[in-house]
């Protein structure tokens, strides 16, 4: 029986894609439960064995093949659950390029979904019987969406599984389009091949060291790369069972995630930094007393800045539950690299660098003592593996950076995706970068900033988010952390810092959510005063505007990243859900509306296409 694979073992069984692999597991381990779904995060509502999943995938694929859909794009509109998994593999089995997306909620704008359908040139839309009527009606009302052909994949009357034909797919065949979550711009379809998926699964397995005896738990959205590849494909790759729950079940009650880990004796689970932070704030001492987290060996964290303070507090608070800090597994990756670029090797110690914050402003890496008040802690995100190359490059000169210097992270290897769908110019720019004076081949420009030390990769921020104020670099996540710590009324992980140009000068703006418990007794003067003092003390900056917005209203991506560009746009056009907004000036605090003329002037510059 195959567990996970080396290239030699896989080749010996004729296995080179996830289509081959699922067929093999359905034959050799037909009754093994692959996926268990907790509908409300607590109650088992269904399971899939390898044989059942294979049969359902064949039925969906045969229906698609009957419609001559092979080679086309198929939009997947499903709530999180087993139907989505069957439909995704159904597309792979049919040679249809899957386009995962989340179904629009009632009264929700269809703009993003419209953009995805138009960009992908999708011809088919797959969904459930329950969603079909409502979703098809809404699409029929939208120009450009009414031509889609709809399939309800959970209808047993459509079972054509005996007619299924094995598709002609190989490592170069396009498997699916992963539309980026849009943290810095318009979503783009990343072209992920079968070979990309296979290689990246090997990368993850080498880092996590999972085996068929492992047990996973995931609440991550399946239409996002971390949820799809980490929560659905990776368990299949290693032959380990996975317990899934809807993201909303976790968000409504974070305890459910930890209860599932405790109940199913999970070894592998994780999520973005905000997930651990949410558990710190929402799980009570009485609830912690009921948990057993001693089985949790790989607590991965990625998709957004990993905060050393969050990891330290989580380890301390949940140690009585059996959690060990060595389980933390920071990792780095992105849709453009299928998923993972680097990660800790299992059981290696967690690495945290304490650096001079002022030196980082000039792209220098200067270690300092732990006691330094101006130090910035950066968590190491492991090392690259399996012939992947990571370089740190000066984004302006395209020359490799020297040691102890921050630059752009460039990546090459078999996990790097094929490019952006129907965007040749951006694909050339991002996926085919070359060093200025070298013949080292093509690299992916990640747009992320960081540095390497003894092979360990450290992430410092994103180029597009980096703020340059009076000639100094400032990372927004550093300012956002300072803001959220300045007053208990401010929600952690729910703030954005960015700049706008006012009278030829870049000025700092802070947008921050207020905790629901403080809405009725909001002391705006105290909060804005605390924010201003903290920013001045920690960063030597003066705030141009502080905008306090309602709970749950800050723009975020599907993976929980703050959409700073959307916050900036909302600030400029007045569309934020504002409770109070103030501006700072040397003369004191002035109600922001009195400065509307300056913002209107900025808007005019933006609409005219002038630099901003």
Largest Cα separation within the chain, whole Å, is 78
pTM score, whole prediction: 0.83
In this predicted structure, what is the pLDDT of residue 185? 53
Q: Provide CB contacts within 8 A for 471, sequence distance 6+.
A: none
Spatial separation of the C-alpha atoms in residues 571 and 329, rounded to whole Å: 36
In this predicted structure, what is the pLDDT of residue 4? 57
Q: What is the mean pLDDT of each run of 10 residues along the chain (612 residues)?
A: 54 85 96 97 97 96 95 95 97 98 76 86 92 78 74 81 91 95 69 97 94 96 93 97 96 96 98 92 96 97 87 97 96 95 84 90 88 85 90 94 93 97 95 85 93 94 83 83 92 91 83 89 88 88 90 80 85 85 52 41 44 35
Q: Provide CB contacts within 8 A for 210, sequence distance 6+.
A: 4, 216, 234, 238, 240, 267, 268, 298
In this predicted structure, what is the pLDDT of residue 595? 38
Domains and their CATH numbers in the chain:
19-24+53-210+222-235 (3.40.50.12780), 467-607 (3.30.300.30)
In this predicted structure, what is the pLDDT of residue 260? 98
Q: Which two tokens stand for residue 13?
A: 């069984």
In 10 A of CB 458, how many CB atoms? Answer: 24
Nearest to 251, CA basis, from 558, 565, 480: 558
Q: Which two tokens stand for residue 419?
A: 């490019």
In this predicted structure, what is the pLDDT of residue 478? 87
Three-state DSSP class for residue 416: coil
Pairing mode of beta strands 407-412, 444-453:
antiparallel
∠ CA(235), CA(239), CA(241), 5° rounding?
60
In this predicted structure, what is the pLDDT of residue 579? 82
Phi, psi of 553, rounded to the nearest 5 degrees: -110, -5
In this predicted structure, what is the pLDDT of residue 19? 97
């Amino acid at each position: 029986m195959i567990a996970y694979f080396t290239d030699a073992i896989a080749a010996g069984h004729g296995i080179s894609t996830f289509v081959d692999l699922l067929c093999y597991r359905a034959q050799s381990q037909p009754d093994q439960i692959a996926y268990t779904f907790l509908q409300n995060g607590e109650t088992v509502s269904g399971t899939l064995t390898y044989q059942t999943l294979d049969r359902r995938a064949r039925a969906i694929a045969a229906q698609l093949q009957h419609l001559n859909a092979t080679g086309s794009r198929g939009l997947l509109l499903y709530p999180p659950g087993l139907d989505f998994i069957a439909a995704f593999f159904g597309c792979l089995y049919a040679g249809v390029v899957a386009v995962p997306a989340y179904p629009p909620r009632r009264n929700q704008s269809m703009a993003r979904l419209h953009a995805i359908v138009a960009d992908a040139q999708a011809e088919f839309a797959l969904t459930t019987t329950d969603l079909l009527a409502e979703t098809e009606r809404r699409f029929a009302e939208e120009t450009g969406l009414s031509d889609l052909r709809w399939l309800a994949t959970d209808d047993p009357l459509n079972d054509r599984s005996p007619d299924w034909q094995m598709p002609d797919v190989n490592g170069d065949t396009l498997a699916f389009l992963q539309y980026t979550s849009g943290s810095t711009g318009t979503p783009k379809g990343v072209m992920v091949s079968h070979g990309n998926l296979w290689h990246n699964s090997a990368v993850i397995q080498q880092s996590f060291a999972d085996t068929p005896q492992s047990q996973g738990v995931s609440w991550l959205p399946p239409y996002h790369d971390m949820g799809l590849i980490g929560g659905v494909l990776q368990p299949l790759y290693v032959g380990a069972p996975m317990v899934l729950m809807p993201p909303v079940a976790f968000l409504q009650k974070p305890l459910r995630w930890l209860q599932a880990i405790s109940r199913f004796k999970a070894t592998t689970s994780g999520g973005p930094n905000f997930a651990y932070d949410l558990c710190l704030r929402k799980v009570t001492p009485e609830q912690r007393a009921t948990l057993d987290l001693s089985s949790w060996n790989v607590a991965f964290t990625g998709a957004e800045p990993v905060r050393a303070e969050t990891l330290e507090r989580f380890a301390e608070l949940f140690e009585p539950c059996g959690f060990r800090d060595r389980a933390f597994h920071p990792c780095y990756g992105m849709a453009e690299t299928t998923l993972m670029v680097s990660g800790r090797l299992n059981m290696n110690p967690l690495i945290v660098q304490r650096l001079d914050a002022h030196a980082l402003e000039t792209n220098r890496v200067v270690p300092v003592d732990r006691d330094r008040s101006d130090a910035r802690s950066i968590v190491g995100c492991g090392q690259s593996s399996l012939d992947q190359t990571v370089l740190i490059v000066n984004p302006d000169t395209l020359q490799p950076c020297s040691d102890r210097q921050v630059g752009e992270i460039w990546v090459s290897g078999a996990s790097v995706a094929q490019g952006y769908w129907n965007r040749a110019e951006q694909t050339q720019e991002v996926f085919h970068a070359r060093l200025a004076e070298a013949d080292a081949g093509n690299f992916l420009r990640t747009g992320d900033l960081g540095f390497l030390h003894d092979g360990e990769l450290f992430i410092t921020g994103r180029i597009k988010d980096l703020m340059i104020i009076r000639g100094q670099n400032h990372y927004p996540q550093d300012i956002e952390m300072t803001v959220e710590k300045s007053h208990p009324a401010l929600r952690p992980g729910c703030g954005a810092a960015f700049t706008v140009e006012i009278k030829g000068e870049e000025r700092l703006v802070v947008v921050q959510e207020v905790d629901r418990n403080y809405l009725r007794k909001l002391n705006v003067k105290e909060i804005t005063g605390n924010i201003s003092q903290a920013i001045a003390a920690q960063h030597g900056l003066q705030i141009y505007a502080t905008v306090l917005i309602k709970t749950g209203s800050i723009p975020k991506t599907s993976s929980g990243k703050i959409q700073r560009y959307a916050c900036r746009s909302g600030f400029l056009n007045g569309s934020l859900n504002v409770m109070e907004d103030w501006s700072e000036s040397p003369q004191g605090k002035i109600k922001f509306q009195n400065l509307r003329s300056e913002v209107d002037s900025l808007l005019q510059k933006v609409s005219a296409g002038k630099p901003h």
